[in-house]
Amino acid sequence: MPTNNFTTSPSSQHYDVVIIGGATSGSSTAWHLSQDPDFKGDPSLQYSASKASNNCMRQQFATEINVKIAQYAADFVRKFGAEFGPDPCVPNPPIRNFGYLYLSDSPTFTEILREDQQLQESCGASTAMISAAEIKNKYPWFNINDLDSGSLNTKDEGCFNALGMTQWMRKIACESGVEYIDNEVVDIGVDASRVSTITLRSGETIIANNVVNAAGTRAAPVASMAGIRVPIEARRRYTYIFEVDDPLPEDLPLTIDPSGVHFRSYAAKDYLVGCPPIGTDNAVDVDDFSFAEDAWEKKILPVISHRVPHLKSARITDSWMGHYEFNTFDCNAIVGPHKTISNFFFCVGFSGHGSQQAPACGRAISELIVHGRFKTLDLGVLSFSRIPEGRPLTERAVI
């Protein structure tokens, strides 16, 4: 996220809403609050750096609520340039629909994909099971010798400009009265089961009627200031951009190989590929963005050369290491108020899906604050209460 010249000091000592974290989910919450005609408060955001997003859009999830959240996101993104007005950050069309293709190398995983496809279809998604032979017929560049099947959806699945969306929401929110503050929360005061004060590193203490934890990978230490434990940690994810001697004649769908490596078209003639770490997917420090291993040579290049031999001449042109805000409880978002501290809200734990889930989840938080209930999409199954009550809603479709 580009650096912004936000003030480091709050302009007031009392705010109706303080959002800790000003990236995608925080900015979505702020934007939805600022656009709700029933909201009469004065929102402030504590700015934080955005995480590296691969800008992906898909409906191929294993839980009904995530399919519905993704469908809301697709509709939201399509509204750029229409209901929301034109913006140079948003491409036309707003979603590049090259599709998602999950590959299976075993009958066991095929059954999992089929079960998920049936759920997605029941929600109105266009996912279809596809045989290995059909994969080869549609995408002749794939090596299918070790494949059993796949699942494919090319409607509202692909990539979009997540950074442009966040910048747009931030700009409009600021024009509507939102105040971004480039500072850090170091203490949260709780009185009679309600958050009462927020203390900043610069020394100011402000009164907060409502607090939203949208702090991403820092969600756990922020919650701990209020005496709350959340099972969220930073997990390392590698991304590389590469070019080849002879690009494919058409878009490469976002392909999830059985190895865990995923790759897709990036710009006109190059490609994006990503993967989790080699070996155990452990927590890392939130400030550690180093490349701890040679994932390209040891994991990525062998996979893409095998799966798409046409890409074996791949050369890296850019790379970065980003973090998932990984919910170790069930890999699903936590959305809504704390069980006992009623004015402390969560919009965290997206486990790699934050960019596309932020529109629906930010709107949900704004509705809870303004109206006291969900109005657009009921996200009650993602409530914090499922964690202390031991009711996981497991999302297995995590890349």
186 shares its domain with 334: yes
3-class SS at 308?
A: coil
Q: What mean pLDDT is predicted for residues 105-116?
A: 98
Length, in residues, of the chain: 399
For 264-313, the pLDDT digits (tens) are 999 989 999 999 999 899 999 999 988 888 999 999 999 999 999 999 99
254 shares its domain with 141: yes
59 shares its domain with 43: yes
Alpha-carbon distance of 88 to 68, in angstroms, equals 28
The model's confidence at residue 1, banded by pLDDT at 50, 70 and 90, is very low
> What is the structure's pLDDT at 42?
64
For 30-74, the pLDDT digits (tens) are 999 999 998 877 666 654 444 456 778 999 999 999 999 999 999
21 shares its domain with 153: no
- Tell which of 298, 323, 348 closes a domain: 323
For 202-242, the pLDDT digits (tens) are 999 999 999 999 999 999 999 999 999 999 999 999 999 99
Alpha-carbon distance of 148 to 215, in angstroms, equals 41
Whether cis (ω within 30° of 0) applies to the bond prior to 107 is no
244 shares its domain with 154: yes
Distance of CA 109 to the CA centre of its chain: 25
307 shares its domain with 198: no
4 shares its domain with 85: yes
- Tell which of 323, 342, 376 closes a domain: 323
Q: How many domains would you assign to the chain? A: 2
Alpha-carbon distance of 119 to 139, in angstroms, equals 25
- DSSP for 129-178, written as a single string: EEEHHHHHHHSTTS--TT--EEEEE-SS-EEE-HHHHHHHHHHHHHHTT-
84 shares its domain with 212: yes
Which residues constitute the domain of residue 146? 97-158+234-323
Helix (H) or strand (E) holding 29: helix 24-35
The model's confidence at residue 172, banded by pLDDT at 50, 70 and 90, is confident
> What is the structure's pLDDT at 268?
87
SS3 readout for 312-352: CCCEEEEEEEEEEEEECCCCCCEEEECCCCCCEEEEECCCC
3-class SS at 207?
A: strand
- Above 90 in pLDDT, residue 11? no
How is residue 299 written in tokens?
Answer: 């994991």
85 shares its domain with 174: yes
- Above 50 in pLDDT, residue 182? yes
Mean pLDDT, the chain, integer: 91
Whichever domain contains 64, its CATH number is: 3.50.50.60
> What is the structure's pLDDT at 74?
92
Of 271, 46, 285, whose CA–CA distance to 180 is shortest?
46
80 shares its domain with 110: no
- Tell which of 267, 294, 323 closes a domain: 323
Whichever domain contains 119, its CATH number is: 3.30.9.10
> What is the structure's pLDDT at 162?
83
286 shares its domain with 370: no
302 shares its domain with 170: no
